[in-house]
Structure 1
Amino acid sequence: MMRRAVRRHGGWLAALWLAAVMFPVVARAAAAPLVRVEVAAQQPVRVGQQIGIDVTILAPNFFMSAPDFPALQVPGAVVTLPEQRALNSTETIGGVAYAGIRKRYAFTAGQDGDFDLPTPTVRFTYAGEDGAPRGGSVTFPSTRVRAGAGGPVRAGAAGTTPRLPVARLVITQAWDHGAADGAVNLQAGDALVRTVTTFAPDTQAMLIHPPHAPAPRGVRVFAADPRLTDRADDPAAAGGTRIDAVTYVFERSGTYRLPAMTVDWIDPATGKPMNSAAPGIEVKVSAAPVSGALAPSGSFGAEGATSWRNVLWSGGLLAVGLVAGLLIWRAWPFLIRLRQRWAAQRLARAGSADALFEAVLEATRAGKAKETYEALLRWTQTAHGATPTQWAESAEDRALLDAVTALQRQLFGTSRADSGWNATPLSEALQRNIGSKALFASKTSDSALPSLNPG
């Protein structure tokens, strides 16, 4: 009977066996990358509460390039991707081994309502069944975060304050002066620096509000820019840290009480507004000692005179520097123009006929034929618009023409050395004819061009 059943249903059994054998192969061949987005908090979340959004990207076999997790922009909320290492994992889905990479986004709602996360596409490379690189991509699924528990935090009649961080804040402080008998002893003009550190677990530092820093009368307060740090890489101390430095300057003697500094937050368990405080301290300020050599006589020698005198001197020097800088800045264009004018005048004087003629005489006194001829050429061209020979001919001085001809023969004849050339005749002829105002053009105007209408 068993054989009869086998013969009757043998085809179906063979098909089922083949499907069971081939299904893992088909599943592996059809396996594709996956992505999961999970909100790591019970909804609705509180406004101002930081929660985690886990994004896990899965690829068959293993990744050959890490996926680049994009930034997420959500109106009305703050979404960041802390700089921490991604969590690697492996899991089997439908008989297929997957490699996973997970990162956690930090999400903080700034108002009530529903927030839809973006659905970007992430591309990467993973290994196929044959080990060859294969391009893959995943698109984030639609994910909604609902916020609204707790409602707004009111600040009396002034209206609604910014949302407070939902975390149990821890505040500590340090002073740059030690306390004796519960008080800090200073002198008039001294400064006291108070450093307040606020830590918020599982909260970004930028969401921590600055501490309240009231100051008593007669004390000047200066607050430095805060330092913000997110310790996301340390699971045991994950959270944000805000460090505020406040400087108090005591200008007069007396006893002062610096109040406690408080930071507001919301209890995540009850949703009630709370605050943490750094205790205040008493400051005793004595009169500043006055140096006998520097303190002036009369009423100006009262306590704090040295400090104020230094302030006045510094202010005066600063004012003088500012005025001088302003005057230089306003006068700078005029100084530039004046300097350019002086340079032009020096250049003009250097290129004038008198300066060029003086250069000729200096060259003749040195007895250098080449320099003499070059200087003479520049002078005759500038003063008379002619060559040395043409000018000498127009001067109608035979001795001058002979001296110029001798200079040219010395330079351009068979002997071209300076030695053997007598510069005295040329020097004397030049000084004798320098007063002549006759121009070469007037001597040659009759023969320069033929008449256009002869006869």
Structure 2
Amino acid sequence: MRPVLLAIWLFLLALPAMADASPRVATTLDPADGTVMVGQPVRLHVRVLFADDMAHPPLVSVPETPGAQVMRFESQALTVRDQIDGQSYVGKEFEFVVYPRRAGDIVIPPPRITLLDRAGDPAGEARGTGTRIHASAPPGMDASGPVLVSSHVEARQDWSPDDGSKPVAAGGAIVRTIRRQADGTPALAMTDFQFVAPAGVRVYADPPVSQDQVNRGDVTGKRTDKVTYVFEKPGRYALPALVQPWWDPTQREARSLTLPGLDVTVIAAAAGHATATGLMARMASPQVLATVAGVVFVVVAALLLAPRVWRAWLARRNRRRASAAWARRAAIRAARAGNAGAAWEALTTWLARLPREEALALRQTPPLAPPLAGLERALFHGDGVWTPADGAALARAIDTCDHRPATEKAGAFAILPPLNPEFTTRG
């Protein structure tokens, strides 16, 4: 009996030490009441404190939050020290940024804490407390899609090869490049422009490029969109303006930036060449015609054939890049590269170029659905990890999908689906 009693006595003595080993977890919001506008960031602070000594910084994540996106921009947590009831504590404070994407109450689940021993191996778990935020739709803003909330937004565009001051030959193209920047929010909150054009103009849009910058927890969203307009026949065409709406929390008002459209005059491809050829014929005298005949032939052939060959090659390249097959190959390459953001943009571009019913069916197929769900968790919810192996699995899943739709249009189309796709859970 004595060994048993001794073991019980030692266990009872160890209970206070075991209790002290459990960390204290505190979860707070900024703003404290969690009342914001849709799209306005809420900072979620998770503080994990250990009595006297911290064997190893813990791992902290926030589970999927329906109706919001949870992101973490800083890789390092802040070391903190505190005195509570005469006891010294040391630990880490982790910061997450929550972006509400719908109006109403949004419940943020308790953070998950994985405790690590001194060797960095899992040694237990802890859980914080859940929180709640309330998001209101900004007055004068459409909250059914992405809402850009920022105190400062910039947008500019460039036209190449020129701004429409010169006529364009039929078969030629103009490239429109749009660059946007917003303080305090990632590029995912920016409007997905719908690029359309009048009949007789084909539209080829490249996947958008997002380059968010983070400086001490403050994010600046940057996005570049590029679209090519190819003119099929002579005429006068009005390319439409584009509008980026946004909510200014400083002035508490809805604002917008307008990128003007462009009027383009398109002429027959060979008209200029025919005039030049006639002028040369009138200027040539019979005496020198035989001498310069070879030179004239070469010059005329170059003037007539080189632009046509270039325009034909450009049109063919643009048609190929606008196809679902090209977008599918780009999605496979992006997935294999291992960058989660680039893989998401390339994948959604491919799905957007398929018929809606086919795209919805592909999103739910067994090969594609699991890696796509993992990609969304890593990008939008902050509790997933995206590794090169996940990228390779997504590439294989895309490769197995049927990518030859019965009908494929190379005209106007939407580049990305809504920011919160239909297949994600909504609150």
TM range (shorter): 0.5 to 0.7
Amino acid of the residue matched to residue 243 of structure 2? Answer: T
CA contact (8 A) 1:27 1:94 kept: no
Which of residues 79, 82, 85 in structure 2 aligns to 1:94? 85
Residue 246 of structure 1: CA displacement? Answer: 0.8
Distance across 2 between alignment mates of 1:237 and 1:229? 14
CA contact (8 A) 1:188 1:252 kept: yes
Partner residue of 1:164? Answer: 147
Partner residue of 1:145? Answer: 133
Work out whether 1:219 is the aligned partner of 2:201.
Answer: yes
Amino acid of the residue matched to residue 243 of structure 1? Answer: T
Q: Deviations over 1:400-447 (max 9, x none)?
A: xxxxxxxxxxxxxxxxxxxxxxxxxxxxxxxxxxxxxxxxxxxxxxxx
Distance across 2 between alignment mates of 1:309 and 1:248? 13
Q: What percentage of residue pairs aligned between the two structures are identical?
A: 29
Aligned ranges 1:338-417 → 2 under 5 Å = none
CA contact (8 A) 2:104 2:136 kept: yes
Partner residue of 2:380? Answer: none
CA contact (8 A) 1:47 1:108 kept: yes
Q: Deviations over 1:140-174 (max 9, x none)?
A: 113121223536845xxxxx742422224321223
Q: Deviations over 1:191-241 (max 9, x none)?
A: 222221222222222221123545355432221221223323x24861322
CA contact (8 A) 1:153 1:161 kept: no
Aligned ranges 1:249-264 → 2 under 5 Å = 249-253=230-234, 256-264=237-245
CA contact (8 A) 1:71 1:81 kept: no
Which of residues 46, 51, 67 in structure 1 aligns to 2:42? 51
Distance across 2 between alignment mates of 1:76 and 1:31? 36
TM-score where L is the length of structure 1: 0.49
Amino acid of the residue matched to residue 162 of structure 1? Answer: G
Q: How many residues align?
A: 275
Give 3-state SS (helix, strand or coil) of 1:64's partner: coil
Residue 268 of structure 1: CA displacement? Answer: 2.1
Unaligned runs of 5+ in 1: 1-25, 128-132, 155-159, 295-301, 319-455
Partner residue of 2:255? Answer: 274
Partner residue of 1:202? Answer: 184
Q: Against the structure 1 CA distance between its residues 84 and 282, is the aligned structure 2 distance closer, same or farther, given a 3 Å change threshold?
A: farther
Work out whether 1:175 is the aligned partner of 2:159.
Answer: yes
Amino acid of the residue matched to residue 87 of structure 1? Answer: L
Distance across 2 between alignment mates of 1:305 and 1:193? 18
- Computing the radius of gyration from Cα coordinates, the structure with the larger value is 1
Give 3-state SS (helix, strand or coil) of 1:200's partner: strand
Aligned ranges 1:417-428 → 2 under 5 Å = none
Amino acid of the residue matched to residue 138 of structure 2? Answer: G
Aligned ranges 1:297-308 → 2 under 5 Å = 306=308
CA contact (8 A) 1:229 1:240 kept: yes
Which of residues 23, 37, 40 in structure 2 aligns to 1:33? 23
Which of residues 48, 61, 66 in structure 1 aligns to 2:57? 66
Q: Against the structure 1 CA distance between its residues 214 and 134, is the aligned structure 2 distance closer, same or farther, given a 3 Å change threshold?
A: closer
Distance across 2 between alignment mates of 1:57 and 1:215? 55
Partner residue of 1:246? Answer: 227
TM-score where L is the length of structure 2: 0.52
Distance across 2 between alignment mates of 1:306 and 1:125? 67
CA contact (8 A) 2:139 2:254 kept: no
Distance across 1 between alignment mates of 2:70 and 2:83? 31
Q: Against the structure 1 CA distance between its residues 65 and 146, is the aligned structure 2 distance closer, same or farther, given a 3 Å change threshold?
A: same
Distance across 1 between alignment mates of 2:126 and 2:217? 32
Partner residue of 1:189? Answer: 171
Higher-RCO chain (CA-CA 8 Å, sequence separation at least 6):
2
CA contact (8 A) 1:62 1:126 kept: no
Residue 135 of structure 1: CA displacement? Answer: 4.9
